[in-house]
Amino acid sequence: MIWVLVVVAWISGSCTSQKCMLRKEYTVLSYNVENLFDTKDDPKIPDEEFLPESEKKWTNDRYQKKLDDLAKVISEVNPLETPEIVGLVEIENQQVLEDLIRTHALKDHHYAIIHEESPDYRGIDVAMLYRKDAFKEIMHETLPVVFPDDTTFKTRDILHVTGKMRNKTVHVFVNHWPSRIGGDDKTEPKRVLAASVLKRKVDQLLSLDPNARIIIMGDMNDEPANKSLQETLGAKAPDSGAKLVNLMMPDDVAGLGTYFYSGSWNMLDNLVVSNEMISGKQVKVENGKGVIYNSPWMIYTNKNGDKTPNRTYVGNKYVGGVSDHFPVYFKMKVK
């Protein structure tokens, strides 16, 4: 009798492909995971600082702890179902993604990986994970971000994935735009150029289908009100009726952020969707906004009492946190 109950419970709680493809709520997560490097030397990229013998002493134990912590974050965002779509920023290679989806918290959730190597000067890329029982990939491509006036500067490609959720076509873009190192004003043109590369592709999709469902995510190294996002890309407030809306704008206006720098919050991690996902009937963002995920165990309280993301390293000092960014996510209903 006990075994019968166990089997019945397993069947009712299991997630078969057919059952999962009929789910109506999806979670989309975007996360800058702060330098997810493996511990092996890759002669093609400058990864020397993330090796066991480096000043950082990036050992297998530390690497595995970070993987487990990241998997814990991903699995906690929606306790009922792990996110169906996960955009990741600052990953080294395919291997770290394979190691991540093999962690205890994620290994039973059947994630697939979409990743292409970028020409980034630091050797970091973007990637997307998706649950095979909820999303079906149609195609993916990379959009190079090339700087005509500075051909020596190499940054991350933009990843574009087209797929289906419950037979609804969705376009997902994972981004990591050039950083602010060197000063916000001086580096802004690089982010504006990255935004223009993305904008051209988005405009192409909307010209073919004005009701295209588009999800744009990642670490833009700019905030919702900055030129790259608000002017070049054209991402406005969720209630604006614009073609593209930034789901993180309400939290940004409220003074919240995902990255803490020099005593203030920055909303560098953005979630932008096409208006069809706000006003449409088939695929609709819940509550019309995004959410910052910051569970207490991910937080560090500094000497001023500020509660900030608990990062993995401060310089070369290992502090053992999960990431220097909080992830952002939204939920959507799919009919």
Confidence of residue 152 (pLDDT cuts 50, 70, 90): very high
Would you state the pLDDT for residue 144? 98
* 14 pLDDT higher than 70: no
Confidence of residue 148 (pLDDT cuts 50, 70, 90): very high
**pLDDT tens by residue, 266-278:** 999 999 999 999 9
Q: Hey, where are the domains in the chain? A: 21-334
**pLDDT tens by residue, 53-64:** 999 999 999 999
pTM: 0.93
| b/e code 113-136 from CB counts within 10 Å (16+ = b) | ebbeebebebbbbbbbbbbebbbe
- Fold annotation for 21-334: Deoxyribonuclease I; Chain A (3.60.10)
Specify whether the CB–CB gap between 163 and 202 falls below 8 A: no
47/165 Cα distance (integer angstroms): 37
Least confident of 5-14, 25-34, 155-164, 307-316: 5-14
Would you state the pLDDT for residue 7? 39
Would you state the pLDDT for residue 276? 97
Give the residue-averaged pLDDT of 234-255.
Answer: 97
130/82 Cα distance (integer angstroms): 10
Angstrom distances, CA of residue 312 to CA of 70, 153, 324: 11, 27, 7
Percentage of the chain modeled with pLDDT above 70 = 93
Phi, psi of 218 (to 5 degrees): 135, -175
Would you state the pLDDT for residue 24? 86
Is residue 269 within a helix (H) or strand (E), and if so which, with residue range? strand 269-274
Ramachandran area for residue 221 (φ above 0: left; ψ -120 to 50: alpha; else beta): left
**pLDDT tens by residue, 103-126:** 999 999 999 999 999 999 999 999
173/222 Cα distance (integer angstroms): 16
Would you state the pLDDT for residue 23? 61
| b/e code 205-214 from CB counts within 10 Å (16+ = b) | bbeeeeebbb
172/305 Cα distance (integer angstroms): 37
